[in-house]
């Protein structure tokens, strides 16, 4: 829901950073892959209840994730780059709840519920993109992307906000997880309704 607004705020500084990095031989795909260890490191830090460290590692992961897109816009995007980006994003989204699940026994059930909600939201997102590509649909509501981004109540900005809140108030993780799982469920229903309107009839 807030990704479009956030893009307008973070794209200018990311573009400036990307112009500097573009002078080197570092590729956008290398930045994408480099973000993954920070996602896993954040999950390990959370499991060890090192929440301040986890926030730092998550911040680095997200900066690299944004920087790879800015680099792609400078040097030219590729289908593989778009594929790699979304795969690494979902590694990040899955890793953080797993970390909380290991951090405390009371977190296990809400972490599983949140992961299930993420699977539903991710499936509704990617399945929509597949059919949209088949039909030649395009949108730039979230900026230039490699495939169709169906908006929803739960997007990247909201997910990161939930993760940050959980790191700042780890005792509240169960409540945050259940509430955000509900937000993901609403997103799934919304995308199904959007798909019904968008894909009505035969292709």
DSSP-derived 3-state class of residue 143: strand
What is the chain's pLDDT, residue by residue, as a tens digit (203 residues)?
A: 665 666 666 777 777 877 887 788 888 899 999 999 999 999 999 999 999 999 999 999 999 988 888 888 888 888 898 899 999 999 999 999 999 999 999 999 999 999 999 999 999 999 888 888 888 777 665 555 666 677 777 788 899 999 999 999 999 999 999 999 999 999 999 999 988 888 876 55
pTM, to two decimals: 0.86
Question: Sign of the C-alpha dihedral, residues 181, 69, 65, 36?
Answer: positive
Count CB-CB contacts under 10 A for residue 203. 7
Rounded Cα distance between 92 and 83, Å, is 15
If we measure between CA atoms, which residue out of 109, 123, 125, 116 comes closest to residue 182?
116
DSSP-derived 3-state class of residue 141: strand
Count CB-CB contacts under 10 A for residue 93. 20
pLDDT at 142: 54
For residue 85, give every residue at least 6 positions away whose Cβ sits within 8 Å of its Cβ, in sequence order, or none. 32, 65, 68, 69, 146
Rounded Cα distance between 53 and 37, Å, is 14
pLDDT at 6: 62
Buried b (16+ CB within 10 A) or exposed e, 8-33: eeebeebbeebeebbeeeebbbebbe
Indicate the DSSP class of residue 48.
T
Q: Decide if 166 contacts 49 (C-beta within 8 A).
A: no
- Correct CATH for 3-198 of 3.40.630.10, 1.10.10.10, 1.20.120.1760, 1.10.600.10: 1.20.120.1760
pLDDT at 98: 98
DSSP-derived 3-state class of residue 199: coil
């Amino acid at each position: 829901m807030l990704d479009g607004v956030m893009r307008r705020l973070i794209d200018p500084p990311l573009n400036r950073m990307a112009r500097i990095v573009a002078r080197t031989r570092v590729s956008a795909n290398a930045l994408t892959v480099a973000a993954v260890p920070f996602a896993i490191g954040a999950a390990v830090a959370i499991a060890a209840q090192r929440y301040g460290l986890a926030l730092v590692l998550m911040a680095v992961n997200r900066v690299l994730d944004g920087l790879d897109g800015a680099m792609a816009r400078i040097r030219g995007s590729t289908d593989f780059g778009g594929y790699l980006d979304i795969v690494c994003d979902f590694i990040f989204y899955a890793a953080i709840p797993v970390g909380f699940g290991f951090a405390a026994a009371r977190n296990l059930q809400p972490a599983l519920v949140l992961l299930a909600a993420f699977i539903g939201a991710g499936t509704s997102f990617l399945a929509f993109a597949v059919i949209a590509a088949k039909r030649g649909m395009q949108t730039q509501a979230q900026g230039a992307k490699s495939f169709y981004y169906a908006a929803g109540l739960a997007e990247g900005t909201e997910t990161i906000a939930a993760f940050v809140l959980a790191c700042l108030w780890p005792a509240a993780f169960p409540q945050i997880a259940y509430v955000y799982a509900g937000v993901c469920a609403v997103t799934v229903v919304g995308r199904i309704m959007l798909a019904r309107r968008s894909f009505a009839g035969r292709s």
